[in-house]
A and B are shown apart, each in its own frame.
Chain A
Amino acid sequence: MSASASRNPRNRAVQSFQEFWIKTSLWLSAAFSIALTVVILLILLGEAWRFFADDSITFGEFFGSLEWTPTVGSTPESKSFGVWPLVCGTLIVTVIAIGIAVPLGLVTAIFLSEYAPRRVRAFLKPALEILAGIPTVVYGFFALTFITPSLNWVHRLFFGERGFGAFNAASAGIAVGILCLPIITSLTEDALRAVPRSLREAAYGLGGTRFEVAVRVVVPAALSGIVSAVLLAVARTIGETMIVALAAGSTPRITADPREGVQTMTGFMVQIAGGDFSNFGIEYLSMYAVAAVLFAMTFALTLLGHRIRVRFREAYQ
C-alpha cells in the first residue's frame, strides 16, 4: 500500500498532510502535560496570593504563628493561620511511617535480590504487589479498627492503661508505613539488581561472606537508587490523604507525642473541601495556601530524588 501511495504524487501529498496532522496532535497531547503543570502552579499560586492579599492575613503570621484555628469564630480576626501545627502533624506521621518502612523495606529488598530462593520469591513478590495495590482508604480502615486497638492493648500491657486516643498519629503513621513498604522494597530491589554480578563475584572471590557482600559491596553500589527510593516514599507519605483523614484525627497541634491526634496538611484540605464550611470564605482560601506548601514540598522531593538517581547512577557496563 505504501509503495503505490508514494508512486502517485497526489497520494504522497495526502500522506504527508496526514503525517503532519498526526504529528501535530501527538505533540499537542504531549504539550497537555506541560499545560497541566502550568495550570497547577497558576491556580495554587494565584489563590494563595488571594489568601495573602486579605487584610487580616500576613506572610509572617502564616509562617510564624504556632496556632492554626481557621474554623474558630466567624470573623477573620478571631482565626489564626499559622501553618506549623499542620506541618508538624505531617512531619510526625512521616517520621513514623519512614521509620517503619525504610528499615523493613531495605532488609526485604536485600533478601529478595540477594538471598531469596526462587520459590520464596514467587510468594513474596505477589504479596508485595497486592499490598501496593490496596486502596489507601482500606489502610485507613485498618488503622482505625486494628492498629489503634492493638497499640492500646500493648500500651495497657506496659503501663496498665489505654494511652492512645481513638485518633492518633501512631496508627496513621504505621498504616502509611505499611503503604510505603512495597514502594521502597520494589524501587530498592530494582537498584540492587542493577548492580552487576561481577562486583558480587569479585567480593566473594576475596573471601567475603554473604552479609559482607550484600552490605559492604552491593548496598553502597546501589546507594543512589536507594536514596531516591526513600525520597520518593517521603513524598508519597507527605501527600497521603485518606489514611490520615480517617486515623489521625482533625486537631491541629504541635506535639511529639504519637499517642495524640494530629491534623496533617492533607487532612485539613479534605476537611475543608469535604463541605464542613461555607465556600469562598477565608478558611477556604487558606486551603490553597496549604496546598501550595504541600505541592512545593513534594515537588522538591520528587525532583531531588530524580536528580540523585540520574546524577549519581553508577554506570558499570
Chain B
Amino acid sequence: MKTPSSHVFILDPQRRAKLTKPAHLRHHWSVVFVIFCSVVATLSLVVLATLLYDIFAHGTGHIWRSSEGSLGQRFSAFFSRWSAFLSNPPSQSADNAGIFPSMLGTIWVCAVCGLAALPLGVATAIYLEEFKPKRKLLRHFHGFVQLNITNLAGVPSVVYGIIGMTVFVMMFQSPGDVQSPVLEFGINGIYDQYESEGLRMLRVPVESRDAEVTALQDGMTVYDAQGTPKELNLIAVGERVPDDRELRRRTLIAIPDGPPRSRYIDEAWYYVRIPFGRSVLAGGLTLMLVVLPIVIISSQEAVRAVPDSLREAALGMGCTRWQVVRKVSLPASIPGIMTGSILAMSRAIGEAAPILMIAGVVYIKSPPGNLMDSFTVMPLQIYNWASDSHREFHDLAASGIIVLLAILLVFNASAVIIRQKFQKNLG
C-alpha cells in the first residue's frame, strides 16, 4: 500500500508519461552524453597534435627537402643547417637566415624582467599574506591592493606595451632623444668613423656628440675597430693608392668635403641613458609589468599553502613577524614561489605584443651589448618572418617556433621537477 503522504505518486499514466521520460530512454541519453563528452574532450588532444604537426612539417620539412645525396649526407646537411640557423643573424635570403641575435635578445630582456619582477612580486605577496593589518584604514588598503592585482592580471599585454612605450621609451616626452640624451653615463669615447681604402674602420676621436668634425691630417693618430692606435696616411684625390696591405688599411683619400663618415659612440657594457629609447631595459621593464600580477598571485598561493601552525609555533617562541617570514614561511614556500616564477618567466619569453610596441619592426643583426642597445626577441622575429609575404620565410618562422617551444619545454619541465622534488607535505 502506498501512502500519499510519503511521496507524490501520479496515478494518471498519460500525465506520468508526459512529466517523466521512460527510464531506459534517460539512461540511453546519459550514455550518449558521456560518449559525446569524451569525444569532445579528445578534441583538444587532436588540436595539439595538429598544431605540432603543422609546425614541424613547416619547420623541418624545408631543410630536409633541400638537402641532397645519401641519407648520411642529408643528415649532416640537416644538422649543419640547424646549427647555422641557431648561430646566424637574420638575413634577406631565407637560406642562411638565423635566429641568434633574437635568442640573446630574449635572454637579456628576460633577465631584466626577472630581476625586476621577482623581488617586487614576492615582496608584494609577502605583504599581502603575512602582514595583514589590524587597523581599519590599512585593511581597506589591503583589500584594494588585492582587487587591483586581480584587475591588473586582466589588462591586455598590448596595453602594457603602450604604457611601457610612454613611460620607459619616451619617458613622458622628455626633452632628449636617443641621439641627444638628457643624461648619459658609461661612454668610452666618441669618434668620427671612416672606412679606409683597405676596407677597415678608422676612428678619429671627437669631444662630444655634436662636436665639429676634426680635420684630417696626414700622420695623425687614429684608432681601428679594436682600439689600437695607428698613423693615418692621407692621400690626395687622384693619387695612387698604396699596394702595401697594411698601409692601405690606414689610408684615406682627402675628398674636398671630407670622406664619408658616421659618428660612432663607443658604449661601455654599463652604458645607461635617459630616455631609455627602444632599448633592452625598456623592453625588460615593460615585460615586468606584464608578468608582475602573475608572479604576485602565484607567490601568494605558495605562501598561503604554508600551514598556520608553523607560523604560530614561531610566533609563540617569540619571533617577530619578519623573523617568522624569513625563517619559516619563506623557506617553506620557496619551491612554490620558484615554480610560479618559472612559469611567469616562460610567459615572458613567449610574449610578443608588448615587445612589438617597444622594439618596433626592426632588423637587428647583432645581439645587444648593453642595456641601452636596440634588440629583438624570438617571438618578434617569428612574427616578422610569419608576416613576410614570401613563403620560404614562413618555414623559417616555423623553425624559430621549434626553438622557442624547446626553450619553453625546458622551462616548464624544470618547474615540474622543482615542484615534485622540493615540495614537502607540511600539512
Contact = CB atoms under 8 A, between A and B. Distances in A.
Contact of A134 (B128, B350, B360): B350
Contacts of B417: none
B161 to A, nearest CB: 7
B16 interface: no
Contact of A26 (B127, B347, B379): B127
B151 A25 contact: no
B427 interface: no
Interface residue tally on B, bucketed by range: 35 or more
Contact of A2 (B41, B323, B383, B386): B323
B158 A124 contact: no
- Most chain B CB within 10 A, of A2, A124, A142, A245, is at A142
A39 to B, nearest CB: 7
Nearest to A267: B158
B403 to A, nearest CB: 12
B50 A146 contact: yes
Interface in A205-220: 209-212, 214-215
B25 to A, nearest CB: 10
A239 B159 contact: yes
Interface in B93-139: 119-120, 123-124, 126-128, 131
A92 to B, nearest CB: 18
A40 B320 CA distance: 37
A273 B356 contact: yes
Interface in A1-60: 2-3, 6, 15-16, 18-19, 22-23, 25-27, 29-34, 36-37, 39-40, 43-44, 47
Contact of B154 (A135, A232, A287): A232
B360 to A, nearest CB: 4
A127 B127 CA distance: 35
Contacts of B40: 104, 107-108, 111
Interface string B1-30: 000000000000000000000000011011
Given A23-B322, A135-B352, A209-B26, A33 B162 contact: no
Contact of A104 (B43, B318, B394): B43
B285 to A, nearest CB: 11
Contacts of A242: 352-353, 356, 379, 383
Contacts of B268: none
Contacts of A123: 45
A139 B346 CA distance: 16
B322 A33 contact: no
Contact of A32 (B29, B120, B353): B120
A298 B157 CA distance: 11
A136 to B, nearest CB: 7
Nearest to B151: A302
B73 interface: no
A229 interface: no
B180 to A, nearest CB: 16
Interface string A280-308: 00000001100100110011011100100
A171 to B, nearest CB: 13
A6 B151 contact: no
A115 B34 contact: yes
| Secondary structure type dominating chain B contacts | helix
Contact of B401 (A37, A130, A138, A298): A138
B68 interface: no
Given A133-B346, A135-B350, A211-B29, A270 B41 contact: no
B51 A29 contact: no
B356 to A, nearest CB: 6
Interface stretch (B141-149, B185-193, B196-204, B251-259): B141-149
B353 A291 contact: no
B30 A209 contact: yes
20 contacts: A29-B124, A33-B296, A111-B37, A111-B38, A116-B38, A131-B48, A133-B346, A135-B351, A135-B404, A135-B408, A137-B350, A140-B383, A141-B55, A145-B386, A181-B47, A185-B44, A273-B161, A273-B357, A275-B361, A298-B156
Interface of A: 2-3, 6, 15-16, 18-19, 22-23, 25-27, 29-34, 36-37, 39-40, 43-44, 47, 104, 107-108, 110-112, 115-116, 120, 123-124, 127-128, 130-131, 133-142, 144-146, 178, 181-182, 185, 209-212, 214-215, 232, 235-236, 238-242, 245-246, 266, 269-270, 273-275, 287-288, 291, 294-295, 298-299, 301-303, 306
Closest 3 CB pairs of A and B: A239-B156, A135-B350, A302-B154
Interface of B: 26-27, 29-30, 33-34, 36-38, 40-45, 47-48, 50-51, 54-55, 58, 119-120, 123-124, 126-128, 131, 144-145, 147-159, 161-163, 165-167, 289, 292-293, 296, 317-323, 343, 346-347, 349-353, 356-357, 360-362, 379, 382-383, 386-387, 394, 397-398, 401, 404-405, 408, 412
Given A2-B317, A273-B162, 17 more contacts: A26-B131, A29-B123, A34-B144, A107-B36, A108-B41, A108-B44, A111-B34, A115-B38, A137-B382, A144-B386, A212-B30, A232-B154, A241-B158, A245-B353, A266-B353, A273-B165, A294-B159
